């Protein structure tokens, strides 16, 4: 490709960067050795022609699925094996960089990230020895079957039953109603031959709640459903990527007694139910999936989208601020800076926070290996809140920067639609965000009770028990770039909202309203409380990282500005609760609006450096707008020319409907020209 004017513009932008890209990339990856590891993985995967993704945007969902399976079965059973990467082990060092390189929502991913770890988590040693090995080698293909057609989040109400038949020492799996049909499991529709089925355990007419059962659902030779099994695809979904979601129901399907996963509970031959070990740990593997997914779909998605939009905004010219002057780069417009740079700040804040959360989880696992069970409540609270807050911010961010790319942001060749479509479901799966927020709210309300009783708090909620400040003490523009001032604002907001809501709930309860109604009519506020709490959590984690990490002054400077921008952006977005109790006054709000613009204009020179630091190779971005060289228009045209939609000059399939009318037109025009 030629060195177009656009390429020159990006080269000029790179000249402006004030910090070392290499240093920033190492910080983002978590150290130089991690950057090296990542780059070596990327090299292996991206240089393998069989891993090259085709343009799935022109395919039907079925074709997308075929393409995904072909690519990923090669990856897991051949390439990864050759490289000795074991992705079924959550401690595999390469796993961290896998979503970045091959994408998250890929075929067969859930076999490795949900089915296998669940077997490992819930099975006895013998069960794991058998099934884990079969699964790891892709000799069986499994899915995790929990959600039902009529039941999502509320697991206790799942209707599928597994009834113990003592005489035959078997369990009988059964779906009593249409609503009890398993619905959604990934890999189930057309691929899986085994399912880990969550079902109500019933022994002699008594229910013992949810347990996990391994059920063979398809014949291993013919791939047809086993007797009594109904299975199929649930049809096409909004998100692309060839996922294979399915439905599954049972008509008295028998499995051997040995197929109940029995690490935490088992049924003896005589039908006695025996509890073993701490069932609280049962769901720890789900925490990992939640964090992995938040990072892979939400945070990485926003980073990629920012990379694309920032580079494009520097090469796109449109309009001018001064008449008769040539058109300017659209990044010069403050409205564009507000869209792009605020989201880059969000991406950085979330990046370092999710890395911190991953470290907490890894610490938890290491402690567990030593027999020490860490603070599971805090782990669930933090991961649920982070998941809900980050997926929401990420989807909003991706869509914001996508829209900032104008019409070209709609083209699949921009790479942006795929990022949006992959991020959107993350607000729902692995725990609907509203449910996650309300789960966190219960914890925060318990914290509020402790605050009222003067008890101290620890961990991520410690600030809530600090003495409440009445007024923000900042009064100059410079004050509002001070991260401690901003942290105090964000913490005050969450604290004040929580205590106000908790006080009101106590008040109406004291007036005789029942607890359930009190909870219900406060729930919208409670969701907002958790959102405010999470913003301060992300901000303070980012700030802690900057303060606790050695970095050169230019890096520290730009990170502090990003951190300040993230804080101010969110305060300015909605300062209602800071004004309500007089913590901020009107002049302070106005000052903050101006500081925000100052920060945007200051960070503008680093806009390309900041996204270059994410170090996404062109093959990963897969974007005509966001490629490293900035050669946007040539790429767009090349891509369009090569689109399957241009394979034939005349689309006979379409033209045949138009032809009779157009030939009439031809004849009329001919006659006209003869007149």
How many beta carbons lie within 10 A of that of residue 77, not counting itself? Answer: 14
β-pairing, 161-165 vs 194-203, is: parallel
80 vs 411 by CB, closer to a second copy: 411
Cα–Cα distance, 208 to 201 (Å, whole number): 5
Angle at 244 between CA 50 and CA 421, to 5 degrees: 80
List helix spans (H) across 511-585.
515-548, 553-573, 576-580
26 vs 387 by CB, closer to a second copy: 387
CA 370 vs. chain centroid, Å, equals 31
307 vs 400 by CB, closer to a second copy: 400
CA 594 vs. chain centroid, Å, equals 33
Side-chain-side CA neighbours of 159 within 13 Å: the count stands at 17
Of 489, 365, 443, the closest CA to residue 92 belongs to 365
Nearby residues of 21 by Cβ (< 8 Å), 6 or more positions away: 609, 612, 613
Distances in whole angstroms, Cα of residue 486 to Cα of each of 233, 394, 481, 563, 584: 50, 22, 8, 9, 11
Residue 5 known to be catalytic: no
Least gap, CB of 667 to a second copy (angstroms) = 9
117 vs 191 by CB, closer to a second copy: 191
How many beta carbons lie within 10 A of that of residue 380, not counting itself? Answer: 19
498 vs 559 by CB, closer to a second copy: 498
- Three-state SS for 210? strand
Cα–Cα distance, 126 to 130 (Å, whole number): 6
Side-chain-side CA neighbours of 153 within 13 Å: the count stands at 11
Q: Scan for tokens 């790429």, then name that residue.
A: 635
The residues pairing with 317 across neighbouring beta strands, listed in sequence order, are: 329
- Three-state SS for 173? strand
36 vs 648 by CB, closer to a second copy: 648
Distances in whole angstroms, Cα of residue 448 to Cα of each of 72, 161, 388: 48, 40, 21
204 vs 654 by CB, closer to a second copy: 654
**Catalytic one among 159, 399, 430, 596?**
430
Least gap, CB of 601 to a second copy (angstroms) = 8
Q: Which residues are catalytic?
A: 430
């Amino acid at each position: 490709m030629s060195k177009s004017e656009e390429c020159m513009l990006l080269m000029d932008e790179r000249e402006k960067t004030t910090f070392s890209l290499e240093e920033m990339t190492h910080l983002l990856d978590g150290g130089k050795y991690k950057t090296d590891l990542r780059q070596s993985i990327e090299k292996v995967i991206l240089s393998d022609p069989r891993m090259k993704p085709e343009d799935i945007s022109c395919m039907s969902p079925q074709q997308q699925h075929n393409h995904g399976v072909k690519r990923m079965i090669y990856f897991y059973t051949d390439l990864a094996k050759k490289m000795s990467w074991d992705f079924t082990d959550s401690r595999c060092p390469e796993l961290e960089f896998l979503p970045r390189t091959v994408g998250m929502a890929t075929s067969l991913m859930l076999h490795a990230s949900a089915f296998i770890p669940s077997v490992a988590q819930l099975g006895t040693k013998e069960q794991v020895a058998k099934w884990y090995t079969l699964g790891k080698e892709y000799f069986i293909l499994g899915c995790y079957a929990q959600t039902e057609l009529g039941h999502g989040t509320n697991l206790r109400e799942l209707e599928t039953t597994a009834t113990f038949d003592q005489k035959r020492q078997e369990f009988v799996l059964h779906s009593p109603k249409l609503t009890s049909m398993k619905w959604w499991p990934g890999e189930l529709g057309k691929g899986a031959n085994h399912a880990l089925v969550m079902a109500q355990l019933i022994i002699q007419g008594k229910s013992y709640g949810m347990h996990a059962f391994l059920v063979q659902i398809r014949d291993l030779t013919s791939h047809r459903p086993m007797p009594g099994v109904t299975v199929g695809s649930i049809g096409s979904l909004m998100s692309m990527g060839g996922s294979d979601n399915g439905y599954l129901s049972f008509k008295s399907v028998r499995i051997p007694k040995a197929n109940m996963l029995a690490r935490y509970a088992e049924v003896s031959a005589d039908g006695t139910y025996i509890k073993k070990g701490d069932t609280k740990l049962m769901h720890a593997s789900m925490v990992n999936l939640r964090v992995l997914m938040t990072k892979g779909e939400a945070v990485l998605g926003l980073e990629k989208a920012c990379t694309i939009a920032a580079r494009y905004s520097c090469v796109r010219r449109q309009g001018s601020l001064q008449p008769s002057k040539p058109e300017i780069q659209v990044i010069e417009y403050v409205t564009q800076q507000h869209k792009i740079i605020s989201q880059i700040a969000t991406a950085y804040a979330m990046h370092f926070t999710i890395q911190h959360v991953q470290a907490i989880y890894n610490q938890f696992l290491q402690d567990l290996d030593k027999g020490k069970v860490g603070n599971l409540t805090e782990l669930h609270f933090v991961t649920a809140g982070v998941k809900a807050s980050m997926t929401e911010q990420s989807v909003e961010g991706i869509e914001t920067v996508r829209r900032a790319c104008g019409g070209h942001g709609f083209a699949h060749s921009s790479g942006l639609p795929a990022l949006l479509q992959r991020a959107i479901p993350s607000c729902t799966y692995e725990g609907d965000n509203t449910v996650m927020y309300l789960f966190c709210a219960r914890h925060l309300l318990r914290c509020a009770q402790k605050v009222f009783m003067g008890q101290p708090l620890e961990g991520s909620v410690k600030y809530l028990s600090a003495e409440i400040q009445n007024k923000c003490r900042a009064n100059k523009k410079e004050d509002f770039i001070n991260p401690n001032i901003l942290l105090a604002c964000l913490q005050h907001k969450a604290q004040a909202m929580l205590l106000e809501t908790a006080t009101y709930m106590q008040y109406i309860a004291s007036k005789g309203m029942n607890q359930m109604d009190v909870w219900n009519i406060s729930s919208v506020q409670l969701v907002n409380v958790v959102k405010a709490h999470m913003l301060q959590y992300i901000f303070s984690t980012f700030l802690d990282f900057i303060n606790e990490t050695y970095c050169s002054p230019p890096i520290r400077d730009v990170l502090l500005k990003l951190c300040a921008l993230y804080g101010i952006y969110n305060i300015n977005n909605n300062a209602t609760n800071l004004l309500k109790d007089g913590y901020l006054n009107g002049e302070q709000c106005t000052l903050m609006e101006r500081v925000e613009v100052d920060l945007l204009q200051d960070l503008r020179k680093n806009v390309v450096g900041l996204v270059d630091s994410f170090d996404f190779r062109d093959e990963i971005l897969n974007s005509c707008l966001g490629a490293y060289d900035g050669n946007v228009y040539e790429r767009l045209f090349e891509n369009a020319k090569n689109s399957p939609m241009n394979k034939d000059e005349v689309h006979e399939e379409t033209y045949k409907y138009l032809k009779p009318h157009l030939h009439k037109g031809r004849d009329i025009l001919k006659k006209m020209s003869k007149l």
